[in-house]
Structure 1
């Protein structure tokens, strides 16, 4: 995908649910926050990757917010 450097993925209960690609980091980070607000729920994982540098820029999961039983 020429020019689409930033890749955002949403998995629900371990299954791929959505993908998005953006050319600008600021836009991708905005979408990342938007996806958390709109789609963040138990079992969700949202990850933003810089495909050019092969590194994770941000990730979200509800697991970090849970207290142990």
Structure 2
């Protein structure tokens, strides 16, 4: 079994500015699917902000809202 790659993509959920959940993924496509899933699960929560950050360059490839 191959060794897993580095966990490059960090997904965070904050509610009213407080960290609530986070996760790490090595594959960008998987992280994107999780990002969309979290929008579906938590997107209607008042004060929610979901951010997907690529850790190699610090960019924010996706933020909601």
- TM-score tier, shorter chain, comes to 0.7 to 0.9
Q: Which structure's residues are more often helix, by fraction?
A: 1
Q: Distance in 2 between matches of 1:53 and 1:16?
A: 22
Runs of 4+ in 1 over 2 A off after TM superposition: none
Q: Which runs of 5+ in 2 are unaligned?
A: none
Mapping for residues 18-57 of structure 1, pairs under 5 Å: 18-40=21-43, 41-57=45-61
Q: Which runs of 5+ in 1 are unaligned?
A: 62-69
Give secondary structure in 2 for the equivalent of 1:21. Answer: strand
Alpha-carbon shift at residue 42 of structure 1 (Å): 1.8
Aligned length: 60
TM-score after normalising by structure 2? 0.88
- Please give the per-residue CA displacement for 1:5-55, whole angstroms capped at 9, x wherever unaligned: 000000001100001000000000000000000011220000000000110
